[in-house]
Amino acid sequence: MNKVITIGREFGSGGRELGRRLAEELGYEYYDKEIIVEIAKKTSLSEQYVQEIIEKSPHALYPITVAHSFSFVDTYAMKQTQTVFSAQEKVLKEMAEKSNCVIVGRCADVILKDYHPFKIFVYASLDSRVKRCIKRNANTQDLTEKKVRKYIKSIDKGRAKYYSFYTGKKWGNKLNYDIGINTTDIEIKEIIPHLASMIK
């Protein structure tokens, strides 16, 4: 059975960087945005719409262009969400079957539980996440700390709802993960070799 590492992460905590570096160090495949692309292919939905479904609360989603009545909208939105989730399951399982891999987000820790993944959760203080986001988007105009803070919270709220909706578990609850890494005071690239040898 291939080795699978899953990474849950708070927005702005550097979870994606950690995942990418870890995959490089281990020589594993790395899947992140590629998952969205594959789901979009399988469902014929746009990548942007798939992304929205995955990043927001399933209940809150509906394509406003088909809004005839609330009940129709609700049913349609739920159906789309379920279609995306089914495709997501399929895509993740295909990836795990193909080779050793690191998968960021997308409830992979639960969907791939039969592969006994090593489950990491990456998090940090809100202040340090705000700083990281501002640094990452240094050239973006009109980026106030207040806006970033609000955006981080809304993304995390969506992730938590999506995770809880599909897995019945609480997103970020430490018992769902093998290891939790707080990047507030840790330099990600420095811990990668040690983390890699711990998992190998």
Task: List residues near a second copy by CB under 8 A.
Answer: 121, 123, 125, 172, 174-175, 177-182, 184-186, 191, 194-195, 197-198
Q: How far apart are CA 168 and CA 147, in angstroms?
A: 31
When the beta carbons of 50 and 196 are compared against a second copy, the nearer one is 196
Query: Is 28:99 a contact under the CB 8 Å cutoff?
Result: yes
| Least distance from a second copy to the Cβ atom of residue 159, Å | 16
Three-state secondary-structure class, residue 9: strand
Any idea how long the chain is? 200
Task: Give the Cα-Cα-Cα angle 100, 8, 16 (nearest 5 degrees).
Answer: 75
CB of 4 to a second copy, least distance (A): 14
Q: Which of 50, 47, 58, 55 is nearest to 11 (CA)?
A: 55
Instruction: Please report how close the Cβ of residue 115 comes to a second copy at its closest, in angstroms.
Output: 13
Q: Which is nearer to a second copy, 28 or 123 (CB)?
A: 123
Nearer to a second copy, 67 or 198 (CB): 198
Q: Min. distance of Cβ 67 from a second copy in angstroms? A: 40
Maximum distance among all Cα pairs of the chain, rounded to whole angstroms? 55
Q: Find the shortest distance in angstroms from Cβ 200 to a second copy.
A: 9
Residue closer to a second copy (CB basis): 63 or 193? 193
10 Å CB burial of residue 151 (0-12, 13-18, 19+) is middle
Closer residue to a second copy (CB): 73 or 155: 155
